[in-house]
Chains A and B, each alone.
Chain A
Amino acid sequence: MKRQKVVIVGAGNVGATAAYFIAKENIADVLLLDVVEGLPQSKGLDFSHTGSFHGYDIHIRGTNDFKEIKDADIIVHTAGIARKPGMDRMDLLKINVGIVTDVSHAIRQYAPNALVVVVANPLDIIALACLQETGFPSSRVFGMAGVLDSTRLRYFIAEELNVLPDDVFSMVLGGHGDTMVPLPRYTTVAGIPLTELLSDKKIKELSLRTQKGGAEIVNYLKTGSAYYAPAASTAKMVITLLHGQRTIIPVSVFLNGEYGQKGIFLGLPVILGPKGIEKTIELSLNKEELSALQHSAEEVQKGIEELKILRSSSI
């Protein structure tokens, strides 16, 4: 039986930590790919040295060579830069779209059957660029955002109620940014609706903290951003795929009319299975929830306009 292969593009903190979580499952070889010479090799080798403690049967390696993604079953795209002082959104977008374009072409050439999990930011835009540049069906290109946003909300709720985070489930939809839409009506603790356990005021407070969850970490770190929870959320999706399981989770998914949206990526509940996105689940959202989702979609749409401007100016 052939062992599965996961390629993680970008050997920074998110990529390397995701590699750690995935390798720990001991079911798929992990290849770290980065353009910085020596970086992915060093991380791959460093991880391999822990094999005697972790009992790895799998291989973890690093490479700078795009050809090595050949026959990957799953590709995780984390490569991109963070916004630096003096840089505007378009500068950032230009660099990260450039990176995902190169990576997507390599994926199309060397791993035409892979599933692609997009993690790099701005997530919903990079996912769209990846979909367009690989030319893959939209079931095979999707973004990691909702899992991270909902795991943050789950943690905040668990902390508030003093219960294990495992027992809290939640749905956070929309774009991956300040306009994300936490859904208290779709949040439960061991099945009990959250709205029966916490006051509206407290729920609003925790929802707001979730929306600013990434920024809260950046404010602490000052020169970096979160990577443990983003990597864990990425790994959760990859591990589900590796095990051939089907799960209902919020994922940034390309829409073709669902929720009245077309041609954009937006975080929504889906059935994720061995072949990628099997179905987008349409929830019975109320007016307020729908309008928050609409607002979030408009924000994503603004990013898409920027992407269009960028592309037309580079021709």
Chain B
Amino acid sequence: MKSSHPISYNFIMKTVGIIGARNIGASIAFFLAEQRITKTILYDSSDGIAQGKSLDLMEAAPIRHFDTMVSNTQSLDTLLKTDIICIALEAPSATPASEFTTLLPQLKELAQFLKHYTGIVLIASRANEACTTVFSKLSDLNSDHVIGVGTLVDSMRIKNNIAQELGIVAEDVQAPVFGMQGSNAIIFPSYISVSGIPLPELISASKIQNIIKEVQEMNNNLLMLSKDRGVYYAQAAAAVEIIEAIIYNENRVLCSCTVGNFHIPDIALSTTQVINAKGIHTKMQSTLEHKKLSDIENTANQIRTIIGTVS
């Protein structure tokens, strides 16, 4: 497959370090290799996983025409020179809270280790808003440089479901999702549009509500189907969308989370943000905050509950 992106010949290829080489991390490396846009270094705290996955990927290169390298390292120090670090730790479990609790010790260590990192950190783990909040706080990095994939994955899912309902291509659909990933995602029908046409002009209100509910429950349903082995393609694709926006300095308007959105200083909440090579360029929250601030406050409290008292 050829990349659809125009790559100029003086383009200096950026390096992405991926911490966590299980399903999410390896899928990110896979999508990046297929797009041929970065050098990728995989790291995993369990010996052998990063080595095995990177070698497997590179052995596909002659057939899939990657001209980019997916390598591995057993030392986190190697990753300090990268342009982007993507944290893709995972511990599939039934609830975001239990997943977060399992990941917390590693997350704390990484936050300490990356305190002076000069690139952009992208959090792709599940329990995303909680992980992003804690990492951002403990690493003390500039909050514009710590981005969580947040509700981008829910936004992709809703686009897909609406496209299927209407029998059209998903790229015609725009659907921002606010707050946090999963069952508590905040979705406003009036903010979903198809080629600019507000969705309520195309689908009945009850059908829209069904689609929203389905998307909110999607993660739980997929987890159940996978027998709790985890769901990861959409999560990885969302991370790659953000990595591309950073690498190409695109000023893309993407749902994602960073600390400080909606003027809530202690929690990373998802909203539409403009992302470029500098990380978060601007927020694009529009008048949402006046409309549904109570929903947002509730979501912030839910994330506070998941996090508990981390110091």
Give A contacts to B, CB under 8 Å.
55, 150, 162-164, 166-167, 169-171, 183, 186-193, 196-197, 240, 245-250, 269, 271, 281, 283-284
Contacts and interface: CB of A to CB of B under 8 A. Distances in A.
B254 interface: yes
A197 B2 CA distance: 36
Nearest to A153: B196
B264 interface: no
Given A248-B195, A281-B202, A163 B274 contact: yes
A7 B245 CA distance: 36
B253 A189 contact: yes
A163 B251 CA distance: 5
A281 B168 CA distance: 13
Given A169-B174, A188-B174, A191-B272, A269 B192 contact: no
Of the four ranges (under 10, 10 to 19, 20 to 34, 35 or more), the interface on chain B belongs to 20 to 34
B174 A170 contact: no
Interface string B268-289: 0000101000000110101110
Nearest to A26: B2
Interface in B172-193: 172, 174-176, 191-193
B248 to A, nearest CB: 9
B2 A284 contact: no
A164 B251 contact: yes
B262 to A, nearest CB: 15
A153 to B, nearest CB: 10
B195 A171 contact: yes
Contacts, number: 95
A45 B290 CA distance: 60
A46 B272 CA distance: 45
B176 A190 contact: yes
Contacts of B282: 162
A34 to B, nearest CB: 29
Nearest to A183: B196
Find the residue from A189, A250, A284 having the highest chain B CB count within 10 A.
A189
Contact of A164 (B176, B198, B253): B253
Nearest to B249: A164
Contacts of B166: 248
A248 B251 contact: no
Interface in B84-108: none
Given A246-B167, A247-B169, A191 B193 contact: yes
B56 interface: no
24 contacts: A162-B282, A163-B252, A163-B274, A164-B251, A167-B174, A169-B195, A169-B196, A171-B195, A186-B196, A189-B284, A190-B176, A191-B191, A192-B176, A193-B191, A196-B287, A245-B168, A246-B168, A248-B194, A269-B195, A269-B197, A271-B167, A271-B168, A281-B202, A283-B201
